[in-house]
A and B are shown apart, each in its own frame.
Chain A
């Protein structure tokens, strides 16, 4: 595959497109599929099959369009009409309106802040290409970055561009990606591996899932470029078995990329070989920790080991290994295509580029968004997300999943980046954002996350294994109104100890939801303990709100 051949595919694709009168795109990512978009797609095909000159219509399954709460979504080209909450019963009417005004009843305005305020880099193809056809990806400038890297750049130049872009690990910790690549590149000249961490397991997070389901080729391209940059010839994608659609599409993507000579031996007629295999995770949060993930790929029990040595030096099968998150790899092709400086032009001083967030909870527009770093929480939650529904009051937003924290109203005008979130007692994490209204009890939220950490602990180190269990029992006691001030002091002691003595990130961050709610909502804990009352009326306290 050369650049000319790539452009030939693009030309063929756009010619085929020219012959079409209408193209109807139906979202077939997990969100819309769960509201039966597959039936909508089938029904559209049936209706159009009955029309004259049926060749001039095409119904296409595409990736996530973001606005999951209004699915199934259907978009029409040309014209750009977007329909929301479409059911199979609506399809005939939609087709009838193709040549006229868009169907008002189902139309979703394109000028919502939800769409207009976003900047799409990782999601540039989501909802715009068919994730099961490599030709669609190629027509959207896909694999141009790979060919550019392989034919025009040295590995060191690729790493230089990644470093210049200021890209930081999107899995949560925010380690500078260029630095990591450089370390692996320098780590000897023997076998090396590239691993994509797709073991997304935080409650309320579906960013990686959506990227894999909507644009799998982009992740492959990022991994191949990484392989070239660090000198690896083999890659693994560690993806959760609970994401069957992502697995199917990744498998198809790998097959198609191999067929076009973009993966395998002598990629793009160069001497560079690279192969990618899938490894399915059995659904353990701890396997998102790099060393546990490596153990799991090796066929061992998914438990972390102490670092150093870091995976960049001693990783998979004891070889230097580059581990990056799905979203990190998905950022690589546009950075190589447009240059590191372009990417560094977005975002804040220390956090460059854009970030994908999954908006969930008590928010009007649930879905997947991508915004430049540095946007405020208020803009994300109220402008893009449309605020809290049913006239209730915003109370807190939980970021970073079980490793993160809850931020109250006074942080709404804070610019979102790695450092500001950490300062406020939460973390960026992988990008889950759970919005809570005044009907949520913060003790209950902390209890939920602690239970999650307790069951997801691997059990290897004592602080995390036994500490999370004790903390969960204390939180349960508080929520039942049976705790004393002494229990609260013990809880705080445990938080401090588990945070500082646990072996891996899971244990070290497990106390965060408790610590952040204690920091910002201590009065709620005190109400449970002293007044035996749950201010939000959620917990089974003896004295219910209003019923004292």
Chain B
């Protein structure tokens, strides 16, 4: 972080604020306690702009912009809450709930789930889309961890933490579209993976109950993510 930072001033939801030129709309908004919902974003990991929940309106720009990857610009006028944005965000969450088999009451992450709390924050009480009920496998071949694809939302946090922080790149995505799935190595069972270091970082960053530790039962799987920003700052400092 250079001592001479370039500063931009912008307006977010009517609040005038300033930010460093290399910050995103999301960074700037959160520093000033304007909350924008996110799901694929996680402090300390690279951003992919995939969940589309952080889309915001910017005056003079025809399309919606993802706050997590859009850099602040001088004079930007950002709106993070509107009827239209609320509607889209609810629909995106509904699509996720209808896509696979999310049943909170029996989930190991109940009460510690990003998808669940987002749904609560957005006032989601029911799902209008028909549930797809796909038949998906559970891989419990690893001695300590389990991946339950029924609860995976394909945010790729596990893929990124494994690649960027642990450096193992055990996780990746296979298939296309609605058939996409996260896999370990070349789709070997997790327990047979040559690259997995069993560090457990993927378990901690997973927003739902898709990745969890064995021996944890309903609502027991609390996630610890404090290590991530710490690691990211220390790495930056060593550069």
Contact = CB atoms under 8 A, between A and B. Distances in A.
Nearest to A508: B63
Contacts of A500: 63-64, 88
Nearest to B128: A490
B92 interface: yes
Contacts of B96: 462, 466
Q: Looking at chain B, what size class is its interface with the partner chain?
A: 20 to 34
B61 to A, nearest CB: 12
Interface stretch (B118-126, B168-176, B191-199, B219-227): B168-176
B52 interface: yes
B130 interface: yes
A473 interface: yes
Nearest to B91: A497
Contacts of B66: 306
A201 to B, nearest CB: 13
A503 B49 contact: yes
B176 A458 contact: yes
Interface in B91-118: 91-92, 95-96, 98-99
Interface stretch (A32-40, A217-225, A449-457): A449-457
Interface stretch (B13-21, B142-150, B177-185, B203-211): B177-185
Interface string A495-525: 0010011110000000000000000000000
A490 B94 CA distance: 12
A503 B129 CA distance: 21
B175 A466 contact: no
A104 interface: no
B177 A465 contact: yes
Interface string A461-505: 111111111100100000000000000001001100100111100
Given A463-B92, A470-B98, A493-B91, A501 B180 contact: no
Nearest to A285: B176
A503 B176 contact: no
B154 interface: yes
B48 interface: yes
Given A459-B154, A465-B178, A490-B128, A306 B88 contact: no
B136 to A, nearest CB: 14
B36 interface: no
A305 B46 CA distance: 12
Given A301-B173, A465-B154, A497 B88 contact: yes
A186 interface: no
Contacts of B48: 305-306, 460
A305 B49 contact: yes
Nearest to A501: B52
A470 B129 CA distance: 8
Contacts of A6: none
A25 B115 CA distance: 65
Contacts of B153: 462
A463 B50 CA distance: 9
Contacts of B92: 462-463, 497, 501
A461 B177 contact: no
Secondary structure at the A interface, as helix, strand, loop or mixed, is helix
Contacts of A473: 130, 132
Contacts of A461: 49-52
Given A463-B95, A490-B128, A490-B129, A306 B69 contact: yes
B153 to A, nearest CB: 8
B55 interface: yes
Nearest to A457: B177
A143 to B, nearest CB: 41
Contacts of B69: 306
B83 to A, nearest CB: 13
Which of A457, A466, A473, A501 has the most chain B CB within a 10 Å cutoff?
A466
A462 B64 CA distance: 15
Contact of B50 (A284, A457, A460, A468): A460
B52 A502 contact: yes
Contacts of A501: 52, 55, 64, 88, 92
Given A306-B69, A490-B128, A284 B176 contact: yes
A472 to B, nearest CB: 9
Given A490-B129, A494-B91, A306 B49 contact: yes
A459 B51 CA distance: 11
Contact of A457 (B51, B129, B178): B178
Contacts of A306: 48-49, 66, 69-70
Contacts of B172: 301
Which of B69, B95, B154, B180 has the most chain A CB within a 10 Å cutoff?
B95
Contacts of B91: 493-494, 497
Given A463-B95, A466-B95, A455 B176 contact: yes
Contacts of A456: 176-177
Contacts of B50: 460-462, 503
A459 B63 contact: no
Contact of A459 (B64, B88, B132, B179): B179
A391 to B, nearest CB: 41
B159 to A, nearest CB: 10
Contacts of B176: 284, 286, 455-459
A459 B155 CA distance: 10
B176 to A, nearest CB: 6
B154 A469 contact: no
Contacts of A462: 50-52, 92, 95-96, 153-154
A501 B129 CA distance: 18
A497 B52 CA distance: 11
A462 B91 CA distance: 10
Contacts of B175: 459
Contacts of A463: 52, 92, 95
A455 B177 CA distance: 6
Nearest to A499: B63
A459 B152 CA distance: 13
Contacts of B98: 466, 470
Interface of A: 284, 286, 301, 305-306, 454-470, 473, 490, 493-494, 497, 500-503
Interface of B: 48-52, 55, 63-64, 66, 69-70, 87-88, 91-92, 95-96, 98-99, 128-130, 132, 153-154, 172-173, 175-180
29 contacts: A286-B176, A456-B176, A456-B177, A457-B176, A457-B177, A459-B180, A460-B48, A460-B50, A461-B49, A461-B52, A462-B50, A462-B154, A463-B95, A464-B177, A465-B154, A465-B178, A466-B96, A466-B99, A468-B177, A469-B178, A470-B129, A473-B130, A473-B132, A490-B128, A493-B91, A494-B91, A497-B87, A501-B92, A503-B52
Given A457-B178, A459-B179, A461-B50, 18 more contacts: A305-B48, A305-B49, A306-B49, A458-B177, A459-B177, A462-B96, A463-B52, A465-B180, A466-B178, A470-B95, A470-B130, A473-B130, A473-B132, A494-B91, A497-B91, A497-B92, A500-B64, A503-B50
Those 5 A-B pairs whose CB atoms lie nearest each other, nearest first: A459-B180, A457-B177, A306-B49, A466-B95, A469-B178
